[in-house]
Amino acid sequence: MWLAFVDSPWSTLAYPFTLLAAVLLGVAYARRRYHGHQRRWQTVGIEGGIFSMYGLLLSFTLVASGNAVRTRDAAVHTEAADVLALSQQSLLAPPALRAATARHLRRYLALQLQHPTPTPEQCRRQIGELSAASHAFTQRLAAYAARHPAETAAVQSLQNQAGALHATALALLYSFRERTPSLIVVALVCLSWAMGLLVGFMNSFQPQPSRVLPALFVGTAALLMTTIRDLDDPSRGIVTPDYEDLFRTQQLLGTYAPAPSPASPVDSLRQVPD
């Protein structure tokens, strides 16, 4: 329920107004408790420290969210390299293994790239589909090795490379489900409200209260929180992983798909259904 509200566009639209309400509440409190009783407020010297704590927490959260984006991009490039490595390795194998590997890679990438930026539900479904495809390919390789013991080394090499590819793909999909810890998000929101209250309160004691400073604070805080939310949710956000390498690899596999030799025992890899 809480995550559903955070992920909704309503939270993004409502957050700046809550910051503005906090600023106005600070102004109202100063007028009622201080100006209304002809009292003056004296700084105690810790106001800057409070703002610094908020800034540090905000900057650390932005860095963590940015690192998650780079991790996703790196996983895409690693997976594309693993696909090419498996395809190139199969070129040294018998024609039956080469054809089976090409079919597996085309199906594997088709399953993954049908939803490049999956929602959590699509992510869970893709993990199951890719795991089933990887398991079926491993079973076919094992059946081939049982029928052709002399090719065991080549089969094992393909299995190891296919396992590395699957591990990278799962790491990418699981990264879509990683979010900034809820406690940190709650702390940032509550601290921003407290900073808005303090900004409105302190600004009301200026000889000429400025409207620019509160507006600048509200705009900056809202923009940074929206950026964190966008980086946290690549399935809906603006910043998404660059899948260009995987799409080019998919096109390359489709263009140079190896044809099985008529004399090769391709049927020996089809004993286990997909």
Domain ranges of the chain: 10-34+46-269
CB distance 96 to 144 below 8 Å: yes
CB distance 148 to 165 below 8 Å: no
Q: What is the reported pLDDT for 35?
A: 76
Placement of tokens 């409502």 in the chain: 14
- Whole-angstrom CA distances from 4 to 9, 11, 45, 120 are 10, 10, 40, 11
In angstroms, the CA 45 to CA 192 distance is 19
Q: What is the reported pLDDT for 241?
A: 84
Of the two residues 230 and 224, the one the predictor is more confident about is: 224
What is the tens place of the pLDDT at every residue in 38-54?
A: 777 777 677 788 888 88
Average pLDDT, integer, range 79-92: 91
